[in-house]
């Protein structure tokens, strides 16, 4: 279980950081604030358009195109939220860099979003093959990194015992 975030601890650690680490933290904080604002605006626009569309009868939730569009926007928000969450690790000094496994998972979410919004009637075989190859490559890279990390954890446990 992680302990709650404390601004006082962050200020105390600030004096121990190098100039680059401070710069990195400030950039991550600025990006977190900007992405948070973008997420709020996008959430408001999505909620407003869905609610007004449903109430006015303009939006048919059973229409495949509407379904793709709405869920594409929802997945975009989830991708932004996950990216913002990873930046918060840098701000809180829990990690000094963005973790590669998390970036791979965000990329997999982006590919899943692309597949959801893709019009299969208009897509050619090359696009589908490219999406399949990207998904396979990202999945393999994630699996390899997970295997490496799991092996490291097992080795560490064996050293402790």
pLDDT computed for residue 41 by the predictor: 96
Q: Is residue 104 pLDDT above 80, yes or no?
A: yes
Asked if residue 33 belongs to a domain, the reply is yes
pTM of structure: 0.73
Angle, CA 126 vertex, CA 123 and CA 128 arms, to 5°: 60
Note whether residue 2 is domain-resident: no
Q: Confirm whether 39 is domain-assigned.
A: yes
Does any domain span residue 86? yes
CA dist., res. 118 & res. 68, Å (int): 8
Q: What is the pLDDT of residues 13-43, one digit of tens each?
A: 777 778 888 888 888 889 999 999 999 999 9
Q: Which domain holds residue 31?
A: 7-160
CA diameter of the chain: 65
Nearest C-alpha neighbor of 29 from the set 95, 91, 94? 91
The whole-angstrom separation of Cα 113 and Cα 137 is: 17
Dihedrals phi, psi of 132, to nearest 5 degrees: -65, -40
Q: What is the mean pLDDT of residues 92-107?
A: 78
> Token pair of 38, please?
């973008």
* Residue 1 is assigned to a structural domain of this protein: no
Assess whether pLDDT exceeds 60 at residue 147: yes
The count of structural domains within the chain is 1
Identify which of 78, 88, 76 has the alpha carbon closest to the alpha carbon of residue 30.
Answer: 88
Decide: 5 and 50 in contact? Cβ < 8 Å: no
- Residue 69: inside a domain: yes
């Amino acid at each position: 279980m992680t302990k709650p975030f404390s601004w006082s601890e962050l200020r105390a650690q600030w004096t121990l950081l190098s100039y680059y680490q401070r710069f990195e933290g400030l950039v991550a904080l600025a990006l977190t604030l900007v992405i948070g604002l973008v997420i709020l605006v996008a959430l408001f626009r999505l909620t407003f358009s869905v609610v007004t569309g449903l109430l006015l009868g303009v939006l048919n939730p059973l229409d495949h195109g509407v379904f793709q569009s709405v869920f594409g926007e929802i997945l975009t928000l989830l991708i932004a939220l996950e990216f913002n969450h990873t930046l918060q690790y840098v701000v809180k000094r829990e990690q000094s860099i963005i973790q590669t496994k998390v970036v791979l998972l965000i990329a997999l979410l982006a590919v899943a979003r692309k597949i959801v919004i893709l019009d299969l009637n208009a897509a050619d075989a090359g696009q589908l093959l490219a999406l399949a190859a990207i998904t396979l490559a990202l999945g393999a890279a994630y699996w390899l990194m997970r295997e490496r990390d799991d092996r490291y954890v097992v080795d560490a446990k064996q050293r402790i015992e």
